[in-house]
A and B are shown apart, each in its own frame.
Chain A
Amino acid sequence: MGQQPGPAPQTPAPSTAPQTSPPQPQAPAVTTPAPPVHVGPTIVIDPAHGGTDNGAQGTSGIVEKDMVLRFARQLRAEFERQGFRVVMTRNDDSNPSYEDRAATANAYRDAIFISLHVASTGKIGTAQTYSYEYPSATALATGSSTPRSLIPWEEAQRPYLETSHRFADLVQMQLGLRFSDSPSVSKPFAVRELRSVAAPAIAVELSSVAVPDANMLFSMGFPLMNALVRSVQLFRPAPAPPGNVPGAAATPAGAK
């Protein structure tokens, strides 16, 4: 992707006033900047934890909630630069509930939900991607005849399991290229944030807050950003045509 549809060419209005003075160098037309045209899916970035919930804490003073917020802001800037609409589940030291985070994503028809985490454990400098998975044998009855609007809230991720898993594998492949020693495939696991998201949803966890120096974690931000942006581009290679912006009508109440 990467290319943003350019603004419509500006055609100056024909002037009807008689020219009484010699022609002067034409000043550039003053126009209000065109609203940004978004392409592709809406990226919902979820910096985990926040508020009184610090998440993982390292002995060197690294706190997960602050680290993921920093990564999320970095990621938002890059996605926006690429022309994507970006929504964050939090942009300060607040702690929205799991349901609020899911609701933020569910307000868009074409969202991709990315939850960011930093682990307490694991090999330093590696990253692991997770998608949600329910065991089908004990699933609630959500047959094809069930109207989509009646899917139970806790089962919202079910229709997207395969898509989420495919996206998680794609992200893990990209992360593996940038963080050596990372696993080659994603893992399905019951990460709470993903359960009620009615969209492709993944969680990415970097290792770890146990680094002796915070700069080691900060340095993971740039490759993480590149891996995620590249994955979204590969996941949805065809940009939506201008004028057909997915989710344009939706405005989430909890979006920040």
Chain B
Amino acid sequence: MPRNLRITLAILAVAVLIGLISLRGLQKRIQRLAQTPTTEEQARRDLLKPPISTPTDVVAQIPIFWAAGPDRVAPTQVALPLSADPVKRARQVIDALILQTPSAEQRTLPADATLLAFYILPDGTAIADFSDTLSTGTPSGIMSEQLVVDSIRRTLEKNVSGLRRLKILIHGQEVDTLAGHVDLTGFFDLNSAAGPTVPSTPAQDLPPTSAR
């Protein structure tokens, strides 16, 4: 075999060997990325958001209402450290509603949605201020939007006492609808015997008494 050919073959063999080694590394890296499907928004939120924990936290089994079909929600028991402070407690359960969804089929709120602020007024009115993603990430439709409102409403009314009604804001603003259908200009009754998920009167300008 000519010397030049031997050298070429040796160079090619080395190149193939290097390629195989780097391919394996790339494969491992892809696998790692696939195992952590965090979006940019989630990563930012994880970095910036302080964990909600208070000295009064007590671990309790509580019902969180996730989807149990296309048009209804059902409770799933979750062990969660919960604060005695109703505002902090409400934030904890809504965070769990977003972050601890058991499966994709049961998800009601978009994974990227964030509860920006939560207030409780003296008359028992809860005001939940969500990020834009709640609006933009919810599939458009009466049924799908109803599911979002139902899961928030029922999770709050079962886990935070003293709430009478709920107002949902998007990025600090009152909006007409969640994603084109469900009326968000009014209040949703909480802890009502009949429990229809419908808003009542339009929002009034009431000052918050407790925040965040």
Contacts and interface: CB of A to CB of B under 8 A. Distances in A.
Interface of A: 48-49, 53, 55-57, 64, 98, 117-123, 128, 130, 132-135, 137-140, 154, 187-193, 195, 203, 205, 207-208
B200 A119 contact: no
Given A132-B198, A134-B198, A188-B196, A207 B143 contact: yes
B121 to A, nearest CB: 14
A190 B194 CA distance: 15
Given A120-B141, A121-B141, A205-B142, A191 B196 contact: no
A189 B70 contact: no
B206 to A, nearest CB: 14
Interface string B10-48: 000000000000000000000000000000000000000
Contacts of B192: 135, 137
B142 A135 contact: no
B197 A189 contact: yes
Contacts of A138: 165, 187, 189, 200-201
Contact of A192 (B139, B147, B176, B194): B176
Contact of B142 (A98, A133, A139, A191): A191
Contacts of A121: 70, 139, 141, 143-144, 147
Interface residues of B, number: 31
B63 to A, nearest CB: 22
Q: Choose among A49, A119, A139 the residue with the greatest number of B CB atoms under 10 Å from its CB.
A: A119
A117 B181 contact: yes
Contacts of B177: 192
Contact of A120 (B71, B139, B196, B201): B139
Contacts of A193: 181
Interface of B: 70-71, 139-144, 146-147, 165, 176-177, 180-183, 185-189, 192, 194, 196-202
B197 A190 contact: yes
A123 B196 contact: no
A135 B198 contact: yes
A207 B140 CA distance: 12
Contact of A154 (B185, B187, B198): B185
A191 B140 contact: no
A138 B176 CA distance: 19
A194 B177 CA distance: 12
Contacts of B198: 132-135, 188-190
A167 B190 CA distance: 27
25 contacts: A49-B180, A53-B180, A55-B140, A119-B143, A119-B144, A120-B139, A120-B141, A121-B70, A121-B147, A122-B70, A122-B143, A123-B70, A133-B196, A135-B200, A137-B189, A138-B189, A139-B201, A154-B185, A187-B146, A190-B182, A190-B183, A190-B199, A191-B183, A205-B141, A207-B143
Contact residues of B: prevailing secondary structure:
mixed
B141 A117 contact: yes
A189 B180 contact: no
B194 A120 contact: no
Which 10 residue pairs are nearest across A and B when measured between Cβ atoms? A120-B139, A138-B200, A119-B141, A190-B183, A192-B183, A120-B141, A56-B140, A190-B198, A122-B70, A135-B189
Nearest to A56: B140
A12 B146 CA distance: 63
Contacts of B147: 121
Nearest to B150: A189
A192 B185 CA distance: 9
B141 A191 contact: no
A189 B201 contact: no
Given A64-B140, A119-B143, A205-B142, A192 B181 contact: yes
